[in-house]
Structure 1
Amino acid sequence: MGDWSARHRKTAVFGWLLFVVLAAYLGGAAGSHKITDSESMPGQVAQAAGILDRAGIKTPAGETVLVQDPGLTADSAGFHDTVDRVVAALRATGKATALRSPYDTGAVSADRHSALVQFDLVGDQDRAADNVTAAQNAVADVQRHSPGFRVEEFGEGSANKWINDQFENDFASAEWTAVPLALGILLIAFGALVAAVLPVGLALTAFIAAGGLTALSSSFLHTSDDASSVMLLVGLAVGVDYCLFYLRREREERAAGRDPRTALRIAAATSGRAVLVSGITVVVAMAGMFLTGIADFKAMSYATIVVVVTAVLGSLTVLPALLSMLGDRVEKGRVPLLRRLKAADPSSGSRVWNAVLTPVLRRPLAATVLATGALLALAAPLLTMHTANLTFQQLLPKGNALVQTSERIQAAFPGAPAPAGVVVKATDIESPAMQQAITDFKARALASGRMHGPIEVTVHQAQNIAVIDVPLNGSGNDATSTAALRTLREDVVPHTLLTVPGTVAPVTGDTAGSHDFNQQMTSSMLPVFGFVVAFAFLLMLASFRSLGIAVTAVLLNLLSVGAAYGVLTLVFQHGVGASLLGTAGVGAVESWVPLFLFVILFGLSMDYHVFVVSRIKEAHDRGLETRAAVAHGIRSTAGVVSSAAIIMVAVFAVFGTLSMQSMKQMGVGLAVAVLVDATVIRGVLLPAAMTLLGERNWYLPRWLGWLPDLGHSEPVAPPADGPTAGAPELVSM
């Protein structure tokens, strides 16, 4: 592929540009089809959403206005007047329907100092974020003219609007921060503008093309906002890394005195192969997320696979063509200051790695024990890890106005902001038997002591469906709420509603959604882990035809993932150092984050592993004994691994600064794992383990001799010692 691209460079370059433009245009024209409610959650929640979808019932977004005064009670004339003004202001917007005064519904707190005005936004939930602004402005106007009162709004529309706006702002912030950051690091690494721009340009065009392809195919596999974020995160990281590996090897061969075509062929046969193998590994690992059965995971998996395949395709086609076109002009735009710094001490990077590598190779057993012990200590907090589907209050930054409002509503009206919903589908919803069952349901729910009023029933007679809203005790995702949900599902519903033949009554709502999601995650954890580990092992076995290298790769990856889990638990669950990230411990790790991190890290960490071990195997195949091959492989890849790791850590760390708790956890977890992987794993444990194994690294049982040889087909002579004058040298950072 590299040789063809170099010989047909115009075709390769313009073909790539045409592909990117067409993919982006067609994807934009087709539009993105987002995951529906019935797809997004498993269990009874999905069943309830499916019933409503098939019946054509669009559940409106519910909103609540808290009217509160510490001095006046709801019985006073002044309090009553404020409530009336809220109702009138909302009605005047034309965006509120089903307005309900607390004097009609009884939504007054036990101490009589708080009341709830409840209403629905016109239209369905998809339009809630657009329609809520008028209501918020009306409530804010009442607040300004009501000194002494607290008049605040919270609900599905308010929450969705804040999340959508913040998601868009965070996404733009990540783009505008991560891209210049990667460019700056590459500029320091190469000391030349053209060489620095190439990896970023490739990554961005791969991301643009992948975004178009994902949108184009979203009609049969729906996408999500989370998928777009992950695609940017992974696309930028792997796109830059793949180009960096390829470019670094081509420049190294040119520095050794080889002609341009030979340098490209060697880069294609070595780094190009490493890119292909690592890309396949990421794709296979991400495919494991399909086993979860959760639509958002499938969307993230598919988007990541598309962007990785696109980045690999660009690295193996358009990159060799561009390098063939540019030749040594890839060194254009050199930065004088960086050039002087590198000229002053060109081997500073290698001295750093030598300082680490020399004692490791001298005492490999001690290095293995110490490094493994340190990583196990870092991973130890994962034994206390508690995962949960974080509530709105936990997801948003501490001190957020909406969070404070929801907490005040929760304090005055436990269970009020997010009641459970029972979707009743009956043969005849108006039959006497069904009406009696609903009456019995209310009585049994209140008698349980785990639910409270007001219990509201909305009947859709034409579709024979009723939706019953039941406030649960507890905060929404604590043990009290979970116990109430279990009572509702296992006792109240079966002994009342389901006694009527032909009736189904799945329970939905935030608490139910969190419970069902966690159940699905727990049941899918083992299959996903097994799938990823097994296929990563088989890919390493086929790539290097070595049992030892395959086993070592899996074990080392598990250590880096464990360390990331430990840090996540320590920071985000227990709050240790959380203030440094602008957050606080929330008592739990977002339930989808550990599985997502495992899958993506098992794929991404193979970037370095394949690149470094390929270099070690290359040296061993030339006749070096294992210890010398390990030393050569680590030293010759130190600069590029350091640069690539810093870029990945920087990109992931940007996501650790975003507002949403889930994005913070994902970014920090990825950054920690990559940092550990590129330093302790690749700099200490890998060389120590391979030195201890010696020639057993290359052992392949006879019964596995049928495995294909995926190594490059031509031997690569060792490069000359040291770069030639004026040749680029990546600094190890």
Structure 2
Amino acid sequence: MSRLLTRLGYTAAVHPWRIIAGWVVALALTLALSATVGGSPHDDYTVAGSASQAGSDLLTERFGDTYATDARVVVRDPDGSLDPAVVDALSGRLAGLPHVVAVDPPRMSADGDTALLTVRYDVPVTDFTGSAAVDALRSATAPTEQAGLTVALGGQVPENFAPPSGVAELVGVLIALLILVFAFGSVVAAGLPMAVALVGLGVGSSLIALLAAVADVSTVAPTVAAMVGLGVGIDYALLLVTRFVEGLRAGLPVPDAAARANGTAGVSVVFAGTTVLVSLIGLRLADLSTYTTVGIATLLVVLSVMLTSITLVPALCGLVGRRVLGRRARRAPGADAAAGRPRAAEPGATATARWAHRVGRRPWPWALGALTLLLVLAAPVLGMRTWPQDAGSQPESNTTRIAYDLVADEFGPGANGPFLLAVDLTGTAGSAGQTVVSQLTERVAADPGVAAVAPPVLNPAGDAALIIVQPTTGPQDEATVELLHRLRAELPQTVRVTGLTAVFADISDRLADRLWVVIAFVVGVSLLLLTAAFRSVIVAVKAAAMNLLSVAAAYGVMVAIFQWGWGAELLGLPHAVAISSWVPILMFTILFGLSMDYQVFLLSRIREDYLATDDPRGSVVRGLAGTGRVITCAAAIMVAVFVGFGLDADPVVKMMGVGMAVAVLIDATVVRMVLVPATMSILGRANWWLPRWLDRVLPHLDTEGSDPRPVGSADPTGGDAASTHPAPAGVA
């Protein structure tokens, strides 16, 4: 791998315009194809095998598409007396909208100042494109608003639409650019990682649009993919440019510096990116199509930015040459050209080196302190409650939140999440069926958790009935879920409880069950990859354990912020909310892969030094000293990108952004800068223990990138261009 990437880096640096032209063509072609034949994201909320899905299927089979999806229009008269004629006129306009098959009779509040109209459509909510359905609702309600009445839109159709916003991405990009300028002291050097990441992101996003033309791609997938792709793209390019700058400062010619960067740091990029890809594949095990498409979409973007990093970075480095250095550095090149490699920082040479030396000198207190901090941060995760976010979590200015609050105030909190009881009356005809339905209605109404039961509706064939049940508590309340489980346990098998709240509960249960399967897969595969890559069982097990600790700590911080409400309002949320069911499993797969990025960057440099010096403790200090700055800078960029997404109005995207920013911050500081070097200093040579039988079985993966000598003099593209470090004594 190292030899191949060295050749690729040298060729790209010598012939930069060929590589640049190739990527420009690829970007233009994918953009053109996505604009002409690409599709739009389309959610698929089917939860195969769930009780709610069985109920929905029964309603569709027996009642047609009448209950496919709905919208709710809430009308309130500020003066306290709502004119029925105005409500009837609005109902007539709503009935004439596209795909509307029925408008339920208005439900009036007890004081007569508010009306609730339920609009029923004959297509699933996921079939609506863009804002067309919401715009139609607004056009129908415009005359009512002009009459001075308050109108708010709720239900599935308005809640499923989110206006596009590029603010999150823009904020992250600007902050990342400032960090890069500060880190390199050169606008040219700062622009290289940003340009490469944006090209990879552009190609990957176009591929997502092409995928959406032939398959259902979740509407949240492009946002999550952009979040991850932008962060890792900048990080990968940053690592390569940093190694290139080191080579130039050591006196290497530009092509050789680019080749060496690709042959060393490029190997780490490929391995780290592959780990992210494997983690994303684990989302398939969630057994929900939404997660499968999020994983595939993010995989496409990560793969694109990984390929642009190992090809476009050396090409751009070859094009700009020594201009990546600041003016002062260009006037004073490094003095290590004769050695053919950048000089490793000695303890005391830099702040990072002094820190590394301090941790290595007294590792036990640092290790115990870091472990204690992680456990304290992770403690709140024991009380984490997950629930898909609904309109009750939206900002108070949103029309869906206004509708949600009005319904709760005027009709009771349970009116925002009624249950639909689909009753199969096959074999029970005529009056016998009506008797069964009547008894069911009375039985359900007697439950203390039920506020009201609407009159049952029979289908024309008389072989099915629908009973709408309003709980006494809101959709996010734990008592509502308890009522759901109670009804399913006590009612006959011919009754299936469905509705949006029931679907949400089934999604939460499914994800909670599958989370452990995903964790086992991702951790297991990562252990195998790390063991093969670093020829060490101890390193692989420690890496997996530390990644689990950092993810758990991030979960704990999220619980404190969102579920406990410590800062929820500062983030634009109206109150404390449950953790979205989508977030934990999605965060785990992405974060476990991203954590491996820093693990590979750090361990590759430590192992590289260890193979050269046979000094287990000193290699940890020198490895941390050599990578601490780039890891810190990369983490700062990643945090900036994720914090930008934390500003998004959507609660799920907000949780993802904040949670991942916290996780990366913890991982790059407490874990990589303290816990990893401390434990490696404690274990010493035992870090690199590998049974001989396992060494023979595992494939050999060169992640440290056997440091190739300058390739420009003798054989630019092969031959004896790459050498392998001798294995130190004592390594099995």
Q: Taking structure 1 as the reference length, what is the TM-score of the superposition?
A: 0.85
Hey, what does 1:659 align to over in structure 2?
649
Change (3 A) 1:337 1:436: farther
Select the residue among 610, 621, 627 that pairs with 1:631. Answer: 621
Change (3 A) 1:138 1:108: same
Hey, what does 2:490 align to over in structure 1?
491
Hey, what does 1:545 align to over in structure 2?
535
Change (3 A) 1:612 1:68: same
Determine whether 1:593 maps to 2:583.
yes
User: Secondary structure of 1:636's partner?
Assistant: helix
User: Secondary structure of 1:317's partner?
Assistant: helix
Deviation per residue, 1:56-105 (Å, 9 max, x gap):
626242323244668x6xxxxx54xx122122144246437634544xxx
RMSD across aligned positions (CA): 3.3
- Once the two structures are TM-superposed, the CA of residue 351 in structure 1 deviates from its matched residue by 3.5
Hey, what does 1:130 align to over in structure 2?
132
Uncovered stretches (5+) of structure 2, i.e. residues with no partner: 333-344, 711-732
User: Secondary structure of 1:164's partner?
Assistant: coil
- Once the two structures are TM-superposed, the CA of residue 121 in structure 1 deviates from its matched residue by 5.8
Determine whether 1:12 maps to 2:57.
no
Hey, what does 1:75 align to over in structure 2?
none
Partner Cα separation in structure 2 for residue 714 and residue 451 of structure 1: 69
Partner Cα separation in structure 2 for residue 263 and residue 11 of structure 1: 19
- Once the two structures are TM-superposed, the CA of residue 393 in structure 1 deviates from its matched residue by 0.4
Hey, what does 1:501 align to over in structure 2?
none
Hey, what does 1:409 align to over in structure 2?
407
- Once the two structures are TM-superposed, the CA of residue 534 in structure 1 deviates from its matched residue by 1.2
- 192-201 or 485-494: bigger deviation: 485-494
Hey, what does 2:730 align to over in structure 1?
none
- Once the two structures are TM-superposed, the CA of residue 572 in structure 1 deviates from its matched residue by 0.9
Hey, what does 2:669 align to over in structure 1?
679
Deviation per residue, 1:247-279 (Å, 9 max, x gap):
111221121112233323321221011001101
Partner Cα separation in structure 2 for residue 54 and residue 196 of structure 1: 59
User: Secondary structure of 2:152's partner?
Assistant: strand
The answer to whether the 8 A contact 1:422-1:467 is kept is yes
Partner Cα separation in structure 1 for residue 288 and residue 347 of structure 2: 49
Hey, what does 2:524 align to over in structure 1?
534
The answer to whether the 8 A contact 1:187-1:196 is kept is yes
Identity %: 33
Determine whether 1:65 maps to 2:64.
no
Change (3 A) 1:376 1:450: closer
Hey, what does 1:729 align to over in structure 2?
none
Hey, what does 1:359 align to over in structure 2?
358
Q: Which amino acid aligns with 1:491?
A: E
Q: Which amino acid aligns with 1:164?
A: A
Select the residue among 215, 233, 253 that pairs with 1:259. Answer: 253
Partner Cα separation in structure 1 for residue 318 and residue 428 of structure 2: 73
Select the residue among 187, 199, 207 that pairs with 2:201. Answer: 207
1:552-631 alignment runs, 5 A limit? 552-583=542-573, 585-631=575-621
Q: Taking structure 2 as the reference length, what is the TM-score of the superposition?
A: 0.85
The answer to whether the 8 A contact 2:606-2:622 is kept is yes
The answer to whether the 8 A contact 1:23-1:212 is kept is yes
- Once the two structures are TM-superposed, the CA of residue 363 in structure 1 deviates from its matched residue by 0.6
The answer to whether the 8 A contact 2:533-2:700 is kept is yes
Hey, what does 1:722 align to over in structure 2?
none
Partner Cα separation in structure 1 for residue 134 and residue 195 of structure 2: 40
Q: Which amino acid aligns with 1:407?
A: D
Change (3 A) 1:157 1:590: closer
Q: Which amino acid aligns with 2:409?
A: A
Select the residue among 658, 662, 677 that pairs with 1:668. Answer: 658
Change (3 A) 1:524 1:668: same
- Once the two structures are TM-superposed, the CA of residue 337 in structure 1 deviates from its matched residue by 14
Determine whether 1:294 maps to 2:294.
no
The answer to whether the 8 A contact 2:152-2:399 is kept is no
Select the residue among 273, 281, 306 that pairs with 2:275. Answer: 281
Hey, what does 1:690 align to over in structure 2?
680
Determine whether 1:27 maps to 2:34.
yes
The answer to whether the 8 A contact 2:9-2:262 is kept is no
- 239-248 or 447-456: bigger deviation: 447-456
Deviation per residue, 1:183-228 (Å, 9 max, x gap):
2221222222332222112212212211222232345642112111
Change (3 A) 1:236 1:429: farther
Deviation per residue, 1:511-551 (Å, 9 max, x gap):
20121011101211211111111111111111111112112
Hey, what does 1:87 align to over in structure 2?
88
Change (3 A) 1:679 1:587: same
User: Secondary structure of 2:117's partner?
Assistant: strand
Partner Cα separation in structure 1 for residue 214 and residue 465 of structure 2: 31
Q: Which amino acid aligns with 1:661?
A: P
Partner Cα separation in structure 1 for residue 328 and residue 113 of structure 2: 68
Change (3 A) 1:132 1:550: closer
Q: Which amino acid aligns with 2:506?
A: D
1:401-440 alignment runs, 5 A limit? 401-414=399-412, 415-424=414-423, 433-440=432-439
Partner Cα separation in structure 2 for residue 537 and residue 603 of structure 1: 12
- 15-24 or 622-631: bigger deviation: 15-24
The number of residue pairs the alignment matches comes to 680
